Structure 1
Amino acid sequence: MNRLVPWLVAMALTVAVSSGAAAQTAGDAHHGHDHAPVMATAPVPEVTADDRILGDADAPVTVIEYASFTCGHCASWHEQVFPALKERFIDTGQVRFVHRDLPTAPQDLARQAATIARCATPDRFYEAVDALMGGQAEARESGDVTGWLVGGAAAGAVTPERLEACMADDALTARLDASIQGARDAGVTGTPTFFVNGEPVDGDLDSLEAAITPLIAQGG
């Protein structure tokens, strides 16, 4: 992993310069409640092979989250709400969970974190997500963006060679752009935003549970 550090240092420095403020690191992002609602022009995109699924792929209920790795509210949700959602519904095979990216400010840093997560092998994707969300607050407080990115890469077992290939992968970039466009078309204006079987739902546990439970009883 040591050979990964110079590459990520260069990335982090580029982000600091291009954002115009080296101190603006993870967590300095807008969230959904800061934006005026936008009318959806299309349904939330269906789950495809490009998505990373956590849980039983055949579960009757699908929860889709649009999130950004530089969104403080996303990190808080991941730390405070997600564990209970996972224990009650995902680990029991009742819900399949899908993380999708909608990068927020600073955009370059959010996109690079998303790329690192996507660069992980599918079975390590959510481990990278956990590391990036879990380490966001410390990165914000310390300003150690490089250490934060390295932590995400390590959790996802991303080698230097694999990361370099991912950063130059036009197909991966296109998938990220498609995630962003799909979110916009579905009326997503900020992060985190949640859909339960295609319907928008507030992200607190009570609201999610209220939406999920009847669908489980109906078999989806």
Structure 2
Amino acid sequence: MLLAVALAATPAVALAQSVLPAVTAADRVLGRADAPVTVIEYASFTCSHCGDWHRTVYPAFKARFVDTGQVRLILRDFPTPPVQVAAEAAAIARCAAPERFYDVASSLMNGQTALFQGGSVADWYASAIAASGRSEPEIEACVNEPATLNGIRASVAGAQGAGVPGTPTFFVNGRMVDDNSLAGLTAAIQPLVTRSTAGR
């Protein structure tokens, strides 16, 4: 393994009411900061359903909503088995140059197919690092910073507190959406965009 990340299990959070953590400066945002709709995705880089969504839905979703300024997308970490591999991938993405985070995420999601067909984890990481805008020594140093692991742990705790049942899970302006197809997300997003436009 190229880098070493140890992600201790985070105890489940028992809350009377699920609470989605607010957007902070620590979140990686794709799209306009003042977009009327915020979509938060909890995902894992070793989750095949997450990879499928990224490859088949994300391009059209981004073109329709993010590139037009209607949505800001935020990807949050919720590593799934093998957790060590997923957490290390999440750490590499977090350590990328800020403007390259989603390039690294795309590299990891798009590289899943080869990985799951017997490809090398080290090669999967290397491709992500190549897209990061930083050198391998810079990424390695950042991955091993306590703050990086703490950020992943905080994301996991937030997911558990919000009642995230698995990955990928999407929230549209704070409301969990069960249907993560383009049609399902459009049905949740479009009324909010229309309402925002009408209120101007």
Q: Same fold (TM over 0.5)?
A: yes
Q: TM-score, normalised by structure 2?
A: 0.89
Show structure 1 runs of 4+ deviating over 6 A: none
Paired residues for 1:36-185 under 5 Å: 41-185=17-161
How far off is 1:135 after superposition? 0.4
Q: TM-score, normalised by structure 1?
A: 0.81
Number of equivalent positions: 189
Kept in 2, the 8 Å contact 1:69–1:103? The answer is yes
Change beyond 3 A, Cα 1:200–1:40: farther
2:195 corresponds in structure 1 to: 218
Describe the SS at the equivalent of 1:162.
helix
Kept in 1, the 8 Å contact 2:129–2:136? The answer is no
Change beyond 3 A, Cα 1:75–1:94: same
Unaligned runs of 5+ in 1: 1-6, 16-37
Aligned mates of 1:207, 1:47 — CA distance in 2? 23
Describe the SS at the equivalent of 1:70.
coil
Pick which of 210-219 and 163-172 moved more. Answer: 163-172
Kept in 2, the 8 Å contact 1:65–1:193? The answer is yes
User: Would you tell me which structure has more helix in proportion to its own residues?
Assistant: 1
Identity of aligned residues (%): 51
Describe the SS at the equivalent of 1:156.
coil
How far off is 1:160 after superposition? 2.2
Aligned mates of 2:166, 2:25 — CA distance in 1? 24
Change beyond 3 A, Cα 1:94–1:40: farther
How far off is 1:167 after superposition? 2.2
Amino acid at match of 1:126: Y
- The alignment yields a C-alpha RMSD, in angstroms, of 1.9
Kept in 2, the 8 Å contact 1:116–1:158? The answer is no
